[in-house]
Amino acid sequence: MPQTRTHCPYCSLQCGMTLRDGRGAPSSGAGGGRGAPSSGTGGGRGTLEVLAWPEFPVNEGGLCRKGWTATGLRGHRERLTTPLVRDRSTGELRAVGWDEALDLVASRLLALQAESGRDAVGVFGGGGLTNEKAYQLGKLARVALGTSQVDYNGRWCMSSAASAGNQAFGIDRGLPFPLADLEQTDVLVLVGSNLVETMPPASRHLDRLRARGGTVVVVDPRRTPTADRADVLLQPVPGTDLALALGVLHLLDAAGAVDEAYVAERTTGWEDVRRVAAGWWPERVERVTGVPATELRALATLLAGAGTVTVLTARGAEQHAQGTATVLGWIGVALALGMPGKPHAGYGCLTGQGNGQGGREHGQKADQLPGYRMVDDPAARAHVARVWGVAPESLPGAGRSAYELLDALGRPGGPRALLVLGSNIVVSAPRAGHVAERLEALDLLVVCDLVMSETAALADVVLPVTQWAEETGTMTNLEGRVVLRQQAVPPPTGVRSDLEVIAALAERVGSPVAFSADPEEVFAELGRASAGGRADYSGITYDRIREEHGVFWPCPATDPADAGAAPHPGTPRLFGDAFAHPDGRARFVAVDHRGTAEPTDAAYPLHLTTGRVLAQYQSGAQTRRIPDLPDAGPFVELHPMLAARIGAVDGRRVVVTTRRGALEAPARVVDTIRPDTVFVPFHWVGANRLTNDALDPSSRMPEFKVCAAAVHA
C-alpha cells in the first residue's frame, strides 16, 4: 500500500507521521499509543491510516490523540466540495461552478476598489497555512490587489513573544535551539504553558529532564496536567506574570546571583532593569500576584543555584495587553543568569499554531515582507520588489493589525470586502460578537475553508479548498525547523488548493505578474525573496528537507560562483557567539508591571481566563467534527469556595458574564484553580464573546487571557 511521510495538521510541533492509503483495505482502528494506526474513510477512496514515523526527531513516532485521528475529516459528510454563492433574493447559499464564483469575487473586488480605493479590500490569513500559501497570500494582497490591509490570526498567537524577541535578541524564532535540548537543562521554567495537553508528545522531555535530576517549574493560575508533572507550581493572579518576573530579578540581584561577567560582555541595558526590579521586593510581589513570598524566594534560590536554566513562555503569559513587557521581564531573568547562548539553556517561546512561526515570516503580517523583512525598510522593499518583478514604490505600506483590521470592516475608511483563508474568526477573535457584526457589515465576505465553519456560514462566497493530506507544502515548527508536508491522496472532485485559488484570483484582478500554483515553485521563489533577510530560507530545498528531517533557518544559499562550496548546514542553535543586533549584544529592556486592562470590581469580581483542552484544537472547526475526539462542549471551571458562595453545583449550568457578553455552560468544580479565577476553553462559540479586545501597544496582541467577570448559578 502507498505510504507517505508527512506531518500532523495541528500544533507547532509538526510531529512526523506516515500516511498509508488503504484503497479499500480494512481499517485497523484508532489508537492512542505509539505506533497505533488510525484511519479515515475517503468517501469511496478507501481508508487513510495514520502510522508512526519513529525516525523523525521531534516526536520519535509518538502522536497525541488528535494526531492519530487526524484523517477523520477525509470523506466527512460536512466536507465542502463545490463553491457556494449567497443568493441576494433568498439569502441562501447556492452551489455554482468555480468560474462563476471566481469571476464574481474578482469583479466585486475590483468594483469596490474602483469606488473606495485599494484598501477597500482586506485579506485575513492563518497561522495554519503553509509557508507557500502565506507567501502567496501576502503577495496577492500587495501586488495583485495593491492593498495594505493584510494580517492573520497568528497575530493572536505569539506576536508578543515575537516583539520581545526582536527587541531583546534582534531576531524572532520561537525556540533558538532544538526542543530536545530541554532534557539537558537543570531547571526548566514554564510560564503560562500547559504543554502536556497542548503538545502531548513534547511532554516526554519533561519526564526525561526530571529523570536525570532536573527540576520543572510551572507558573499558571491553574494546576494543569503539566503542573502535575512538575516539581514546583506557582499560581499567580492572571495577568501578573511580569510582577513575578521582576520579583525574581530583585532577589537574584540581592543575592549576588547575577552573572555580571556575562552581562558586561554580552548585553546592554542591565542597570535600567535593575532599577525597576529594585522596587519589587517579595512582599509587594505577593500582594500583586498572590504568590507567597516564601515561594518566590524558593524559586529565586533554585534559579541562582542551577548550572543551566531555560525559561519558556506561552500564551498564558503572552496574550495580554502587557504581553510583550511580560516576555521581556522573563527574558531579563534568563539574561541576568547568563543563559541565552549557553548550551542547554536560555529563553524560548512555545509557538502555538502549526505554522505560527513561518506564517509571519513571509508576508501575511501587516508590517512584514518575506524573510522577516519590515515593510517600511526601503532596502527590503527593493529586494522583494525585484524578486516579484514590480516597482518598489508600487508596494503598499504597513496596514492594520489583525483585530484593528476586523474592527475597521464596513466602517468609513475601512475595508468593504474581506478574503479569509485558514481562520475561523467568529470563534477565535476577541470580543467575537462585535467582530461578527463587523463581518456582517461588509459588502463582500469570501471564505476559503474545508467545512462550513462559523465564519464561512456568514460569507457571501465560500470556496472549498484542500486539507493537509491532499496537498504539498512546507511548515516551520516551533524550533525553526522547516518541514515538508507531502500530498498523500488526491482531493475530492470539485476541491481546489488555496494556491490555485490565489493564482486564479490574481489573474482575474489583473495582477501585473503571474502567480504559480505549484508549491515547489512557490517555495523556490520564497527562498529568493527571503535571501539575506533575518529568516533566510534561500538554501533550503524540498530535497534537503526530505533528506535531513527538516532544515533549521537561517539557511542562506551558497554563492553560485563557488562550485565546490558545501551547502549551509542550517542553524539549529542561535546566539552561541553573538546575538542578532548589529553590535552582537542582547538587550535588557526596562519594563514595569501596570496591571490588566480591565481590573475586577464589585460588579465583575472575578478573573476570567481561557485556554485549550486536550481533545480539541483552536476554533475546533476540524476537531469538533471528528467522531473519535470527545466533544463535551464548553464548560466553566471554578473553585469549590467560589461554587459554594454562588450555589453552583458540578455539572449544572452557570452563567459567566463580562462587559461584552454572557456564556451559559456546565460548571466543573475543581480545587486546581484559584478561588478568584474561572476558566473557559475557547474551542466553541461563546468564550471569545467574553474576552477583552484591549491591545498590547507593541505587538497588538489582544488581552485574551484575563478580563473581569461574574458567575451566577
pTM across the whole model: 0.95
Q: Are 427 and 343 contained in the same domain?
A: no
Domain boundary among 300, 319, 349: 349
Domain boundary among 517, 534, 564: 517
Q: Does residue 479 fall inside a structural domain?
A: yes
For residue 564, what pLDDT is reported?
76
Q: Which domain holds residue 319?
A: 159-349
Q: Are 115 and 222 contained in the same domain?
A: no
Q: Are 341 and 409 contained in the same domain?
A: no
Q: Does residue 558 fall inside a structural domain?
A: no
When divided into structural domains, the chain yields a total of: 4
Alpha helices (runs of H) in 177-258, residue ranges in sequence order: 195-198, 203-211, 225-228, 241-254
Q: Are 465 and 420 contained in the same domain?
A: yes
For residue 35, what pLDDT is reported?
44
Q: Are 192 and 264 contained in the same domain?
A: yes
Q: Does residue 390 fall inside a structural domain?
A: yes
Q: Are 214 and 307 contained in the same domain?
A: yes
Condensed to tens digits (0 to 9), the pLDDT of residues 510-536 reads: 999 999 999 999 999 999 999 999 999
Q: Are 201 and 244 contained in the same domain?
A: yes
Q: Are 464 and 397 contained in the same domain?
A: yes
Q: Are 300 and 426 contained in the same domain?
A: no
Q: Does residue 460 fall inside a structural domain?
A: yes
Q: Are 285 and 418 contained in the same domain?
A: no
Cell of 33: 499509543
Who's near 487: CB < 8 A, 6+ residues apart? 4, 469, 470, 471, 472
Who's near 339: CB < 8 A, 6+ residues apart? 308, 309, 310, 311, 345, 346, 347
Q: Does residue 592 fall inside a structural domain?
A: no
Ranges of the chain whose pLDDT falls below 50: 24-36, 41-45
User: Which residue has cell 535588557?
Assistant: 588
For residue 30, what pLDDT is reported?
32
For residue 34, what pLDDT is reported?
43
Rg, C-alpha atoms of the chain? 25
For residue 594, what pLDDT is reported?
96
For residue 75, what pLDDT is reported?
86
Closest CA to 387 of 358, 361, 362, 355: 362
Cell of 312: 519558556
Q: Are 266 and 340 contained in the same domain?
A: yes
- SS3 string, 330-389, reads HHHHHHHCCCCCCCCCEEEECCCCCCHHHHHHCCCCCCEECCCEECCCHHHHHHHHHHHC
> What single-letter DSSP state applies at residue 143?
I
